[in-house]
A and B are shown apart, each in its own frame.
Chain A
Amino acid sequence: VQLLESGGGLVQPGGSLRLSCAASGFTFNIYAMSWVRQAPGKGLKWVSGMSGSGGSTYYADSVKGRFTISRDNSKNTLYLQMNSLRAEDTAVYYCAKGILMVVNPDYYGMDVWGQGTTVTVSS
């Protein structure tokens, strides 16, 4: 079971980036997934999540309207489109697989994490 993020980099304020998370080793389309970020020297902050089917999406207030989560279950890949980036979005971004919860599958702890991809927003 593995998650591999890509797409991070240096971007100017107001710019855009799309992060990808390639999943392998599990049946991707039955698991909810999330993006979690960690600013330098800070704690973990949940950013966005999506149900296994892709029918439900959730966002932190700080990114709502700027970030869009999506998934392509045929490619076993999760995405995070980030627009109107700000300096405070600078962080390592992790994708994480939700534990399969029989009751309330959209509410989960996260049992597999990628290695993270670094996003730096700076002029």
Chain B
Amino acid sequence: AIRITQSPSSLSASTGDRVTITCRASQGLSSYLAWYQQKPGKAPKLLIYAASTLQSGVPSRFSGSGSGTDFTLTITCLQSEDFATYYCQQYYSYPFTFGPGTKVDIK
């Protein structure tokens, strides 16, 4: 199975900050990577797929980049509703695998 690591595992930030989360895969994924946001007690929400395609309805302050083994999720101008846990997921091969998550909380 493809292993996914995320860094950092958690971070504290303030409203208005720029936040960057990194996802690294144990083998190349081309662009077969998605990013999700999850808030406590809620289902995950798709933010980005194909590494950099913004899901319909997701604010443009979210962006994704990368290909191969290294990917980045960037949130520019962090808003209060963005405090959550973020996961990346590879769908290059089965079994699909998720990163361990990055919790973004209020500084």
Contact = CB atoms under 8 A, between A and B. Distances in A.
Interface of A: 34, 36, 43-46, 49, 58-61, 94, 99, 107-111, 113-116
Contact of A44 (B46, B49, B89, B94): B89
A61 to B, nearest CB: 7
Contacts of A43: 87, 98-101
Contact of B95 (A58, A94, A115): A58
Contact of B43 (A59, A99, A113): A113
Contacts of A113: 43-45
A121 to B, nearest CB: 21
A46 B91 CA distance: 10
Given A43-B87, A109-B91, A94 B96 contact: no
Main secondary structure of the interface of B (DSSP, over half): loop
Interface of B: 1, 32, 34, 36, 38, 43-46, 49-50, 55, 87, 89, 91-101
A113 B87 CA distance: 15
Contacts of A44: 36, 38, 44, 87, 89, 98, 101
Contacts of B49: 99, 109, 111
